[in-house]
């Protein structure tokens, strides 16, 4: 089979804001022009530094029309709880970290279109650090969120590190965002990368951080949604990518949860869809991650009401990450999924919930007394 030429993730990220970064062309002016073309200023309906919504609203603009020109500078200036960052269209090539002290923070993409506002960098786990060593998986993250109560709307989080450009690096994990805080919500956001794109985790083994993703788009190839958080993905689109560095299946795995054994709730995917650039059956739905730091983990994933394209291997949708922790011993289940990738041809390979069991696998059951869907 002749496969289509792969699309560079860097080109894809930049095309989203209207320019070719690989050619050294700035996307800022064009993105701003798009925002103005919609009949609004660079901050849309969210005010401006001269018409501030409130004292805890900060404005980020790459050309200097806001309070800050970088996202990290605005985060640093938000020295307490409850700040809102309104981020103007543009490509913000930087790493950003939100510490535990900056609770109840909200980031808003000013245009209302996630493609217009991109936070991106290109570190990988094996990228050398200044002063020695490498970044590791967590250190590769473009954005790190450790504070509780974080909300993001209409933004793109990306890591455009490419394997083909770094053949000498074996640590190819390249995280777009790592989220560790409790009550973290993302609405209408995009997460772009290859391996380990979206790291939905917690601050500590005994901390069961709750996260909510609604109407989001996530793409990648290897374990590109992973971690130990209790996370609900509602009406989200997951897309598996073509790979030109491999000649056969599998290309990768959509989910790799590492849920703590004591946590009764892991990942819940509901009302979503999984599409693919790859040939039929070249992707697995999931594999369990039992990290060396927690060999008592019992990864948990429930996928329900989700359409799966033929890119998912319907015969063997699950596989092992380690032979010592077979997927059959973990907490994987499905319920009323559709599409060619969801066909149950070998029942023992696709555990199904009963209707009674499915009643305990809902966003309400997973998120408890936190109801983000009512305020997002």
Q: Which residues are catalytic?
A: 196, 223
Using CB atoms within 10 A of its CB, is residue 340 exposed (0-12), middle (13-18) or buried (19+)?
Answer: middle
What is the DSSP annotation of 104-156?
A: S-EEEETTS-GGGEEEEE---TTSBPTTSSB-HHHHT-SEEE-STT-EEES-E
**CA angle, corner 253, sides to 248 and 256, nearest 5?**
150
Q: Which two tokens stand for residue 72?
A: 């990290």
| Pair 194, 9: CB distance under 8 Å | yes
Residues 279 and 251: their CA atoms lie apart, in Å, by: 10
365: enclosing H helix or E strand = helix 363-367
Residues 329 and 331: their CA atoms lie apart, in Å, by: 7
Q: What are phi and psi of 36, to 5 degrees?
A: -65, -30
Residues 67 and 73: their CA atoms lie apart, in Å, by: 9
Look at residue 348 and give its three-state secondary structure. helix
Look at residue 75 and give its three-state secondary structure. helix
Q: Which two tokens stand for residue 13?
A: 């990220």
* Sign of the CA dihedral with 76 first, then 82, 83, and 86 last: positive
Count CB-CB contacts under 10 A for residue 132: 6
Residues 138 and 243: their CA atoms lie apart, in Å, by: 24
Q: Which residues pair with 119 in a beta bridge?
A: 92, 157
Q: What are phi and psi of 172, to 5 degrees?
A: -95, 5
Cα within 13 Å of Cα(287), Cβ side: 22
Alpha-carbon separation of residue 18 from 24, 33, 113, 351 (angstroms) = 13, 10, 13, 44
């Amino acid at each position: 089979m002749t496969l289509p030429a792969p699309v560079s993730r860097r080109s894809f990220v930049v095309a989203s804001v209207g320019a070719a970064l690989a050619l050294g062309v700035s996307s800022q002016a064009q993105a701003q022009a798009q925002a103005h073309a919609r009949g609004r200023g660079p901050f849309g309906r969210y005010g401006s530094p001269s018409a501030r919504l409130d004292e805890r609203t900060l404005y980020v603009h790459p050309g200097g029309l806001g309070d800050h020109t970088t996202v990290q500078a605005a985060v640093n200036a938000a020295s307490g709880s409850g700040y809102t960052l309104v981020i103007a269209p543009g490509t913000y090539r930087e790493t950003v970290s939100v510490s535990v002290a900056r609770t109840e923070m909200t980031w808003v993409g000013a245009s209302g279109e996630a493609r217009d506002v991109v936070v991106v960098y290109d570190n990988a786990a094996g990228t050398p650090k200044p002063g020695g060593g490498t970044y590791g998986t967590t250190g590769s993250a473009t954005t790190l969120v450790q504070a509780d109560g974080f909300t993001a709307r209409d933004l793109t989080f990306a890591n455009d590190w490419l394997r083909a450009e770094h053949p000498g690096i074996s640590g190819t994990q390249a995280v777009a965002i790592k989220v560790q805080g409790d009550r973290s919500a993302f609405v209408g956001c995009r997460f772009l990368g290859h391996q380990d794109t979206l790291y939905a985790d917690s601050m500590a083994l005994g901390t069961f951080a709750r996260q909510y993703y609604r109407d989001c788009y996530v793409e990648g190839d290897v374990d590109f949604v992973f971690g130990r958080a209790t996370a609900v993905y509602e009406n989200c689109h997951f897309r598996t990518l073509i790979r030109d560095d491999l000649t056969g299946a599998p290309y990768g795995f959509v989910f790799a949860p590492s849920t703590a054994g004591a946590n009764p709730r892991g990942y819940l995917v509901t009302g979503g869809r999984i599409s693919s650039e790859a040939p039929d059956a070249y992707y697995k739905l999931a594999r369990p991650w039992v990290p060396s730091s927690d060999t008592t983990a019992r990864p948990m994933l429930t996928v329900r009401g989700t359409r799966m394209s033929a890119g998912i291997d319907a015969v063997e949708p699950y596989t092992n990450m380690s032979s010592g922790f077979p997927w059959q011993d973990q907490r994987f289940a499905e319920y009323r999924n559709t599409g060619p990738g969801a066909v149950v041809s070998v029942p023992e390979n696709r555990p199904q919930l009963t209707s009674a069991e499915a009643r305990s696998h809902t966003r309400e059951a997973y998120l408890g007394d936190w109801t983000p869907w009512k305020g997002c």
